[in-house]
Amino acid sequence: MLTPMLTIDADAHVLETEQTWEYMDGADKKYRPKLVGATEGDSKDEYWLVDGTLRLKSGNVGRNTPQASREMRDVPTRIEHMDELGVRIQVLYPTLFLIPLSPRPEVELALCRSYNRWLADIWKQEPERLRWAAVVPLMSMEQTLAEARFAKENGACAIFMRGTEGDRLLSDPYFFPLYQEAQRLDIAIGVHAANGSATLYNYYKYESVGFSKFKLNCVGGFHSMVMDRIPDRFPKLRIGFLEISAEWLPYTFTDLKKRFRLKNKELHADFLKQDRIFVACETTDDIPYIVSKLGEDNIVIGSDYAHADSATELMAIHNLSADPRLTPALAKKIVSDNAKALYGL
């Protein structure tokens, strides 16, 4: 049974399949990723061969979700599972694009265009229940803006970014045209636990988990955007930080306050609300402490649906709603009102 509240899973995922790349045509066809099995031993792992490099496909798979659902092969199956979980709307983020895929702009563009058209067709099947974050070819800003416009017209409510993109911080002026266009289109920037820098990704290649590689660089992205006052430059831009928990917020706020004071400025405790920045919490976070320090209007929650890592909690919406530490009003803000504000739903 659906809950009467407009519950929003602010961070769910899809797993790309061969169908994802069927939207490539013409010259783009030669860039289509190929699905291959393990190259040695008895491993049953699957890989994507992307621009000559193998990328693991079967590593972060939430096998407690129906395959037809997590791969979006059958949208009704996804909706049925959402109903069981008490989720009215899921915002869909990618999987393969959590890492850098190719140094070539033409390959990046082909991958992004095909993925976005795949998601657009999925959205058209359930426009009231499924929204999505577009991937954009950031090596070409002109093409990035074109993809952002396509996405907005086809059900996207966010532009997916990673904590670092190439060798640039998120506050780099290179991204200003994207932020300006996102502001104009009334579409959020969704900064997800991920790494878009081949340099950093390779630096952490021996890390057995994605803590430094994926999560900490997003905290750094948050810090740079606040410190360099991106919200002031783009006063209508909404920014979300997803799948990195929210426990780090009080520490980061303290650090930012000190740095602001060194410049004879002040950063107030309501800066998240003033800057239109939202952060996805996890049910294991000390949520009462976080909101006591930074307010309750900018915390959302996601389930990490379709994945299987430390952030994954299929029942996150239900569990948070039933959390005895939270008042019903606060729980409603986190599972509904704040996500509506972030994504403009």
Residue 270, number of CB atoms within 10 A of its CB: 12
Question: 243 in the Ramachandran plot: left (φ > 0), alpha (ψ -120 to 50) or beta?
Answer: left
CA nearest neighbour of 252 among 265, 269, 237 = 269
Length of the chain: 345
Q: What is the mean pLDDT of residues 13-38?
A: 93
Query: Tokens in use for 38?
Result: 């393990």
Asked whether residue 92 is assigned to any structural domain, the reply reads: yes
By DSSP bridging, strand 46-50 and strand 53-56 are antiparallel
pLDDT at 3 over 50: no
Return the structure tokens found at 296. Answer: 């309750």
Per-residue pLDDT averaged across 193-199, rounded? 89
Give the pLDDT confidence score for residue 41 in this predicted structure: 52
Whether 42 shows a pLDDT value over 60: the answer reads no
Token reading at 334 = 């986190």
The confidence score (pLDDT) of residue 23 equals 97
User: Strand, coil or helix: what is 189?
Assistant: strand
Whether 50 maps to a domain, the answer reads no
Mean pLDDT to the nearest integer, 258-280 = 95
Instruction: For residue 255, count other CB atoms closer than 10 A to its CB.
Output: 13
Pairing, β 277-281 against β 89-93: unpaired
Using an 8 Å Cβ cutoff, are 61 and 47 in contact? no
C-alpha span between 103 and 315 (Å, rounded): 38
Cβ-contact 238, 276 below 8 angstroms:
yes
What are the tokens at 331?
């729980």
The domain tally of the chain equals: 1
CA distance 282 to 277: 17
In a domain, 313, yes or no: yes
- d(CA 247, CA 10) in angstroms, rounded, equals 17
> Nearest Cα to 77, choosing from 126, 138, 145?
126
Contact 87, 317 (CB under 8 A): yes
Q: Tell me the C-alpha distance between 80 and 104, whole Å.
A: 39
313-334 confidence digits (pLDDT tens): 889 999 999 999 999 999 999 9
Is pLDDT at 38 greater than 70 in this prediction?
Answer: no
Is 151 domain-assigned? yes
Whether the predicted pLDDT of 210 surpasses 90: no
4 pLDDT band (50/70/90 cuts)? low
3-state secondary structure of 336: helix
CB 94 within 8 A of CB 70: no
pLDDT tens for each residue of 229-265: 999 999 999 999 999 999 999 999 999 999 999 999 9
pLDDT of residue 205: 78
Residues 285-296 pLDDT 10s: 999 999 999 999
Residue 103 lies in a domain: yes
Give residue 153's pLDDT band: very low, low, confident or very high (50, 70, 90): very high
pTM, two decimals, is 0.94
Order of strands across the sheet with 299-301?
Answer: 8-13, 89-93, 130-134, 156-162, 188-192, 239-242, 277-281, 299-301
| Mean pLDDT of the residues in the chain | 93
User: What stretch of H or E contains 158?
Assistant: strand 156-162
* 277 belongs to a structural domain: yes
pLDDT category at 2 given cuts 50, 70, 90 is: very low
pLDDT at 40: 55
pLDDT of the residue at 45: 82
Give the residue-averaged pLDDT of 31-48.
78
32 in a domain, yes or no? no
Give the residue numbers spanning the domain of 148.
8-15+62-343
Please tell me the distance from the alpha carbon of residue 64 to that of residue 120, in angstroms, as a whole number: 26
Q: Considering the domain boundaries, does residue 275 fall inside one?
A: yes
Give me the CATH number covering residue 148.
Answer: 3.20.20.140
Q: Is the dihedral of CA 168, 170, 173, 174 positive or negative?
A: positive
Which whole-number Å values give the CA distances from 102 to 73, 84, 160, 191, 204, in the listed order? 26, 38, 17, 20, 18
The SS3 call for residue 110 is: helix
